[in-house]
Amino acid sequence: MNLVIDRGNTRTKFALFDHRRLVAIRTCDCITDEFLQNLVAHTNIDASIYCSVAGDAADATVMPLLHKQLPNLMTMPYNLHFPITFDYKLHELGADRIAAAVGARALVPEGALFVVDAGTCVTYDFVSADNRFECGNIAPGYELRLRAMHEFTGKLPLPEPTEPTTFMAQSTEDAMRSGAFYGLLFEIEGYLEHFRQKNSPYQLVLTGGTARLLQNQIKNCTFAEPNLVLIGLNEIIIQNSK
């Protein structure tokens, strides 16, 4: 079994793969020695990988626990081989973006890819047909747009980041929700139109926490895969276990 650990800004996902088959996913808010002991005790783990966007200070507290329970742990992106190459500055590229690009290529083996990860932030990344991570952008995600309006004004509330019920609203919370959501949707569609005008054929792969709200609104979406980062991390394990 391969164990994939994806530590985000708010929670950590643990995924077990039997080669390329996703077997199970568990989540936790806090990685503890007890949690890891229980996980390892009930699973025969052959290889593992850790990916984090939580920051160096947060990682420093958990890495000793991981190495204690997982002695052959791979750590993204250090000293690893990837099935794609990078024009983007690799030392500045988030490990989750690398994994999402690798996962997208695993799902779509041929052609150029436009990978949109709609999480806390939205990342827009372009992978060429010859497997080069060429370029990408970063923007605020749906929930972050709502939170920014709340925190940087005196009176605006903090709505739940649910799917809007109307396009143009008649209440403040609905107006914020529709403005943030459709602003994000039109932003994505603007990127897609830009690539169309450049005559650059591509396939769109969508992931992230807001993907389930967006996927039915976006035309020509090749894949909407919520576990794209996990799939990519598992591919990186396979690549580095040969």
- pLDDT value at position 199? 64
Higher pLDDT, 200 or 98: 98
Per-residue confidence (pLDDT) for residue 229, from 0 to 100: 94
Radius of gyration from C-alpha coordinates of the chain:
19
pLDDT at site 219: 78
Taking only the tens place, the pLDDT of each residue in 40-65 is: 887 888 899 999 887 777 778 888 88
pLDDT at 49: 95
Q: Is-cis flag, bond preceding 161, omega within 30? A: no
What local confidence, expressed as pLDDT, does residue 115 receive? Answer: 95
Query: What ranges in the chain are assigned the alpha helix state H?
Result: 33-41, 56-69, 95-107, 142-151, 172-197, 211-214, 228-240
- pLDDT category, 120, cuts 50, 70, 90? confident
DSSP 130-196: TSEEEEEEEEE-HHHHHHHHHHTSSS------PPPS-SS-SSHHHHHHHHHHHHHHHHHHHHHHHHH
Mean pLDDT for 88-110 is 90
State residue 60's pLDDT score.
Answer: 82
Average pLDDT, the chain: 89
What is the rounded distance in angstroms from the CA atom of residue 66 to the CA atom of residue 177? 39
Which burial class, exposed, middle or buried, applies to 115 when counting CB atoms under 10 A from its CB (0-12, 13-18, 19+)?
Answer: buried
Calculate what percentage of the chain has a pLDDT beyond 90: 52
Assign 67 a pLDDT band (cuts: 50, 70, 90): confident
Share of the chain above pLDDT 70, in %: 100
- Give the rounded distance of the alpha carbon of 212 from its chain centre: 13
State yes or no: is 96 an active-site residue. yes
Contact in structure between 180 and 150 (CB atoms under 8 Å): no
The C-alpha atoms of residue 49 and residue 96 are separated, in whole angstroms, by: 12
Q: How confident is the model at residue 33 (pLDDT cuts 50, 70, 90)?
A: confident
Q: In angstroms, rounded to a whole number, what is the distance separating the alpha carbons of residues 13 and 24?
A: 10
Q: Give the 3-state secondary structure of residue 37.
A: helix
pLDDT score, position 84? 92
Arithmetic mean of pLDDT, 91-100: 89
Q: From the candidates 33, 46, 56, 96, which is the catalytic residue?
A: 96
Q: Confidence band (pLDDT; 50, 70, 90) for 209?
A: confident
pLDDT tens for each residue of 151-193:
999 999 999 999 999 999 889 999 999 999 999 999 999 998 8
Mean pLDDT (whole number) for 95-111? 93
Read off the tokens for 223: 């894949």
What does the block give as tokens for 230? 């996990």
